[in-house]
Amino acid sequence: MKFLERIALVLFSLYGFIAFTILLLVLLPAFFIASLYGKVKGGNMIYAICGIWADIWLFLIGIRVPIIHEAKPSEERPCIFIANHISYLDIPMIVKVIREPVRVLGKQEMAGIPIFGFVYRNAVIMVNRKDAAQRARSVGVLKKMLMQGISIFIFPEGTFNETDHPLKSFYDGAFRIAIETQTSIQPIIFPDTVKRLWHGSVFSLNPGTSRAVYLPMVSVKDYDLQHIPELKNKVFDEMADALNRYQKNSHID
């Protein structure tokens, strides 16, 4: 029985990846036209198209995305979105649940993926963590976006959390930018993406529920640069506690 379940999972994953690619190909002309409108207007258009792609793809693979706001009245924009990172599904989740202009900080090596790479290069602000000068340029672009009223998104863990803990340790970047620009932080948690697509296997895609939870915003008005560790630890603890809370009390499939 387990062998048959495994075969079914692989076949479903192949179906999901084929649908993923076909949708990108269908929308590629729209992405190309949007790219002609420049980094700001064109970038906003590309992000909106990505939202349409996510809606269709997640529907086709049977993934439902309830969105929970724990303190919506106090949310403000622009902001710095951050989230936990534990699955390839986290990327489609971003464009599914953040339906407003935003720029995502992403790893430069992803730009080399055929077809997807074109969209990626035009939709994200790429960073090479091994190149200090390139990191600095990326930070400069992120700050520029905030000055133009466009929110940004950063995974503070940097890469997949493959530990047994709710979160990996955070990098300073998102919190430094928040303090330097006095921009509030909007934490989001994805407590179910690892159930829908495990980071250890691309052939683990399965339908079901994948929640997105907006936690209360974190103001940085009382912090300066010497308090980055304090701010980082505060947000880390709040996100880890929320992940434990939602995963422990989850009765979803």
Q: Give bridge partners of residue 165 from the DSSP assignment.
A: none
The per-residue pLDDT of the chain, averaged, comes to: 92
Fold annotation for 2-248: Glycerol-3-phosphate (1)-acyltransferase (3.40.1130)
Residue 238 half-sphere exposure, CB side, CA atoms within 13 Å?
19
197-220: pLDDT as tens digits = 998 888 999 999 999 999 999 999
User: Phi and psi (nearest 5°) for 108?
Assistant: -65, -35
Whose tokens are 């529907």? That residue is: 59
Q: Which of 148, 202, 190 is nearest to 39 (CA)?
A: 148
Separation of alpha carbons 156 and 132, rounded Å: 17
- Give Dmax (Cα) for the chain: 58
Q: Which of 110, 107, 128, 129 is nearest to 119 (CA)?
A: 110
- What residues does each domain of the chain span? 2-248
Flag whether pLDDT at 36 surpasses 90.
yes
141-194: pLDDT as tens digits = 999 999 999 999 999 999 899 998 999 999 999 999 999 999 999 999 999 999
